[in-house]
Each structure stands twice: as C-alpha cells, then as structure tokens.
Amino acid sequence: MVKQTLSNTPGILYIVATPVGNMQDMGMRALEVLQKVHRIAAEDTRHSGRLLQHYGIQTRMLALHEHNEQQAIAGVLKLLQSGESVALISDAGTPLISDPGFPLVRACREQGIQVSPIPGPSALIAALSVSGLPTDRFRFEGFLPRTAVARKNKLESLNKDTATLVFYESSHRIVHTLDALAEVFGSERFACVARELTKQYEDIFQGNLGDLAELVRANENRRKGEFVLLVAGAGEKEQTGLPDEVQHLLQILVAELPLKQAASIAAKVTGLKKNKLYQAGLKLR
C-alpha cells in the first residue's frame, strides 16, 4: 500500500475525526495530519492532550469551544491566512456534529481558505450501523431542548416523520428524554439505546420506548455515560417492539384468526404478555 502524505499547501483547515472512546480507532491519516499541522484547535485541550500524549504528538494546541468560539475564530483565521495549517478536533468523534466548529468552517469558506475533511469515527454513524433500524433514511436531531415544554414541542414536530430518528443525550437527562419520547411517540414505538460506544462498558439494547424508559430507570449503570438514541420512524413495522420471529408468528395468526384469539395463542407459544401481543396485533392488522 502506498503511504499517503500530507499536502505541503499552507493555510489549510483540517477537520479531523478522533475516537469516540477507543483510542485504537484513531486513523493513520488523522495521526499524520495532527503531527504535521502547525496548530491543533481542540474543544478541550486537557482532554485532547491525553490523546496526543498517547500517540506522542507534540503539536501545540489552542482552545476552541462553545464558550469562546466567536473570539477564537479571529485568531485561527489569522494563523491560516499567514500560511499555517490548523487541525480542528472535538472531544470525540467528528467535529461540528453537535460540537463546535461550524462558524469557523463557514468563516474559512467565506475567506476562500481551503477546508479539508479527515474522516473517521462518528457516534451517530456507529450507532445507526448496529441499531437494527432502517438506515436508508434517517434524521439526526442532536441534543433535544433542555426544558420540558420545548423538548415536547420539538418531539411533536417529529412524530409523523417516517425516517429513523437519531438523538444524542447525556447521563443526567437520559430518563427524562426516554419518558418524553414514550409520551409523544407512544410507549410501543420501537427504539434502540446505544451507550458508551466503543468503550469498555459498551451497551446496546432495543425495545419499546416504554420498556426502555423503565429499564434505564431501574438500572443505575444504564444511566451512566454518553448515549445515542435511535427511534423507528412513524409507520415502521418495528413499532411492535417484538423479535422478528415473534412478529412473524403473530402476523400469521392475525391473518387467520380473530385478534384476541391470535394474541392468546401467541402468548402461550412465546410466554409474552397477551396484552402486549394484542396491542402489537392491532398495529399489524
């Protein structure tokens, strides 16, 4: 394999993806860029310092985060305009995806400064790839509003969207958000929770929103870490929240028998609650 080398063209802003958890996910090209640029603009220099130290990278850093972004942009533009190359990184994953950086990239584009992506890890894509939900169409909403009213209003605007919905969430709001999702979308809407992706305690689990909210509420460990929430779009068959084989059985029974009888037989065969199977049968019918 021919080794790719970093362009000698000065004044480039590189958007560099870094691991979302496991440091071994760092790409070779990303390492090369971080070693050769003049400066690294980091969301948290202390956090990113551990990553750079792990790989023996000594490139100087400067801070660019949500609280100083507007002020920092002028300094970064000055460096770029003087011919220095800068790499932008976030605490984890791909910069700008629910992280700082958009105003800087836009300013560079307006100034005619080259912006080059160094692709790599993204919690959004990683979670989507293992969720078991449709990936042909998805809608990424990032973090929901903090207040209950604003959060509910936002979710109501998404209630009829048929694409897979993807959200980020933090540990201290995960239960409230799952409750809000169940309230607005219905407790039977199928969803997936991806927690601590690529880390030691990675945890990915599926089910109806109502069940997931109770599961997380009852287990302290499942309330820790960083979360990606994925919710089936309106009208998706996954709304039943049943395993594929159970759903297939129920479909056959519903097609041949009265719904109540179909749910009763399915409950005897699977050991699941008859009421849950009845509600699922209503959707299938």
Residues 131, 217 within the same domain:
yes
Are 212 and 131 found together in one domain?
A: yes
Contacts of 92 (CB under 8 A, 6+ apart): 18, 19, 20, 21, 121, 123, 226
Has residue 172 been placed in a domain? yes
What domain count does the chain have? Answer: 3
Q: Which of 121, 142, 171 is the last residue of a domain?
A: 121
Residue 35 shares a structural domain with residue 92: yes
Give DSSP secondary structure letters for 64-124: --TTTHHHHHHHHHHHHHTT--EEEE-SSBSTTSSSS-HHHHHHHHHHT--EEEE----HH
Tell whether 45 and 81 lie within a shared domain.
yes
Residues 41/86, Cβ–Cβ less than 8 Å:
yes
285 residues of the chain, pLDDT tens digit each = 334 444 455 699 999 999 999 999 999 999 999 999 999 999 999 999 999 999 999 999 999 999 999 999 999 999 999 999 999 999 999 999 999 999 999 999 999 999 999 999 999 999 999 998 999 999 999 999 999 999 999 999 999 999 999 999 999 999 999 999 999 999 989 999 999 999 999 999 998 999 999 999 999 999 999 999 999 998 765 455 677 678 878 888 988 899 999 999 999 998 888 888 888 888 776
What is the sign of the dihedral through the CA atoms of 219, 182, 138 and 244? positive
Kindly state whether residue 222 falls inside one of the protein's structural domains.
yes
Residues contacting 135, CB < 8 A, separation 6+: 128, 129, 164
**Inside any domain, residue 6:** no
8-state DSSP, 159: T
Residue reference for tokens 């607005």: 184
Domain that holds residue 190: 124-239
Could you tell me which residues come within 8 angstroms of residue 8 by beta carbon, excluding any fewer than 6 positions away? none
The answer to whether residues 115 and 131 belong to one domain is: no
The reported pLDDT for the residue numbered 243 is: 75
Do residues 212 and 178 lie in contact, with contact meaning Cβ atoms separated by under 8 Å? yes
- Report the candidate in 245, 247, 241 with the shortest Cα–Cα distance to residue 207: 241
Q: What is the CATH number of the domain that holds 210?
A: 3.30.950.10
Left, alpha or beta for 112 (phi > 0: left; psi -120 to 50: alpha)?
Answer: left
73 plus 136 within the same structural domain: no
Same-domain pairing of 181 and 233 = yes
95 located within any domain: yes
DSSP 55-79: TT---EEEE--TTTHHHHHHHHHHH
* Structure confidence at residue 9 (pLDDT): 57
Regarding beta strands 60-63 and 86-89, do their DSSP bridges make them parallel or antiparallel, or are they unpaired? unpaired
230 and 128, same structural domain? yes
Please indicate, yes or no, whether residues 232 and 252 belong to a single structural domain of this protein: no
Statement to judge: residues 79 and 63 lie in one domain? yes
Give the residues across from 166 on adjacent strands: 140, 230
Note whether residue 8 is domain-resident: no
In a domain, 5, yes or no: no
Q: What pLDDT score was predicted for residue 99?
A: 94
Q: Do 133 and 116 sit in the same domain of this protein?
A: no
Q: 61: domain CATH number?
A: 3.40.1010.10
**Overall residue count recorded for the chain in this entry:** 285
Q: Are 232 and 247 in contact (CB under 8 A)?
A: no
Say how far residue 231 (Cα) sits from the centre of its chain. Answer: 12
Residue 4: inside a domain: no
Determine the pLDDT at residue 72. Answer: 94
